[in-house]
Amino acid sequence: MHWVRADSSDFGGNLPIARSGHTAVNVGKSKVVVFGGFADRRFLVDISVYDVDNGIWFAPDCTGSGSDGQVGPAPRAFHVAVAIDCHMFIFGGRSGSKRLGDFWMLDTEIWQWSELTSFGDLPSPREFSAASAIGNRKIVMYGGWDGKKWLSDVYILDTISLEWTELSIIGSAPPPRCGHTATMVEKRLLVFGGRGGGGPIMGDLWALKGLIEEENETPGWTQLKLPGQSPSPRCGHTITSGGHYLLVFGGHGTGGWLSRYDIYHNDCIVLDRISVQWKRLSTNNEPPPPRAYHSMTCIGARYILFGGFDGKTTFGDIWWLVPEDDPIARRPLLNPPDISNQSAQDQSAAQSAPQVKENLQDQSAVLELQKKLGISISSSDAQVNVIAEVNDKELLELSTKFVGEVLPTSDQAVSIQALREHWKTCDPNSIQLRELGALLRDYQRLIINQHR
């Protein structure tokens, strides 16, 4: 596959402005509908549509009426959007400090909004939830954040009767989370990643059965541990279905126990539905800048990436991910003009120089730490002589002793993480000499893992 930044020859019309936390859904095979999001400290309510057949972007003039007399939904971000036939369904999200629980439908044939009055087991207002279509009639929604707690509930909506049903599930279940993805694959809902209660970012994969009435299956969760190179823990990523692959891109991760919630990803990992394993997607050129809370949709054999946020910059760029033989991949590799809106251009010009400078500073800091620790990291897969944490007897003894004084446990991973948290928050002068060997090796492992 080949990454190509879109240029002015790819599109006509008015492109969407820079944003993150928006949604983009495929309607049929001819349209991609972008709605809402967050940019410049404001929540958005606009709609931008990419007409696939004609290669143009346009903003439809929508009609409609809501319960308060408004034409369409209030501005929002971090909502869910699901397309069924020619309809796009919107639920929840956030506007300002308010979590939303309203429910809307946009008819993309006549561009008309309808606020839907649903009944049954109504889900609570929430943001950072995830949802997917079940066939061409129902929607399943899982998890989210209601402003006070992380959620783990599962709701099914019948888009014909407008009845919500909370699914009763017996047995083990994923930890509550938000910022995850939820994707229907055949008869199962696959949930990956997200941020959990208390703040940890997760990289687990779960499958939920019992969503298809005709199968008469008892609803139940199963945690999947698949072979291959699985994605690192993340939230705010996307999973896009294309052919027999599920493509994971981007997201917000953690830098480990030394710095938390500070890593943004731009890697591509695919879940091969035929071999049922994770694979790193091979791309032969530079990927887009790392980001989270973007959108990625599949158009035939192509993927289109738009927007997102990297902790400092809100993006308005558009990227293609295409096969090697695609005409887009074969065009000359020139620096394309920025086709995003003018405000995004101004923002990019102001921010690109300090961002490059900071990236170089970050890289320099890592290299300096490598020199001090005597670690040589090459760009190849050369082996580095560092003890794995499970074989680091000194680390295990220290962690067991430390945790034993606070919380009895036999879980080595929990003990090690508790010791790391202690190291991260304590006064450096309080670290004892006998701890320095284990602490040094953990620094080494951190650097090595960042380069793999």
Q: Establish if 350 belongs to a structural domain.
A: no
**Domain that residue 89 falls in:** 2-341
Do residues 149 and 96 share a domain?
yes
Dump pLDDT digits (tens) for 187-214: 999 999 999 987 789 999 999 999 988 8
Neighbours of 107 (CB within 10 A): 16
For the chain, give the longest Cα–Cα distance.
72
Query: How far, CA to CA in Å, does 149 sit from each of 66, 146, 173, 206, 342?
Result: 29, 6, 17, 21, 39
Q: Is the residue at 204 inside a domain?
A: yes
Which stretches in the chain have pLDDT values below 50?
334-337, 341-364, 366, 371, 375-384, 405-410
Give the number of other Cβ atoms within 10 Å of residue 103's Cβ.
Answer: 20
- Answer yes or no: is 354 within a domain: no
Phi, psi dihedrals of residue 293, rounded to the nearest 5°:
55, 40
Note the pLDDT of residue 389: 74
Structural domain includes residue 359: no
> 144 and 63 in one domain?
yes
**Domain assignment present for 409:** yes
Polymer length of the chain:
452
108 and 173 in a common domain: yes
Residues 385 and 442 in one domain: yes
pLDDT value for 343: 42
- B/e letters for 306-343, b = 16+ CB within 10 Å, e = fewer, are bbbbbeebbbbbbbbbbeeebebbeeeeeeeebbbbee
Q: Are residues 70 and 204 in the same domain?
A: yes
The pLDDT, as a whole number, for residue 382 is 39
Question: Are 138 and 232 members of one domain?
Answer: yes
212 within some domain:
yes
- Whether 308 and 414 share a structural domain: no
Distance from CA of residue 424 to its chain's centroid? Answer: 27
Task: Mark whether 297 and 437 lie in a shared domain.
Answer: no
As a whole number of angstroms, the distance between CA 29 and CA 135 comes to: 16
Alpha carbon distance 167, 119 (integer Å)? 15
CB of 187 closer than 8 Å to CB of 215: yes
Q: Does one domain contain both 289 and 388?
A: no
Do both 244 and 388 map to the same domain? no
Domain boundary among 282, 316, 341: 341
Q: Show which of 321, 341, 361 is a domain's final residue.
A: 341
Same structural domain, 200 and 313: yes
- Residue 356 within a domain: no
Domain count, the chain: 2
pTM above 0.75, yes or no: no
Listed residues 319, 341, 363: the one ending a domain: 341
Q: Is residue 381 located within the same domain as residue 304?
A: no
The CATH number linked to 200 is: 2.120.10.80
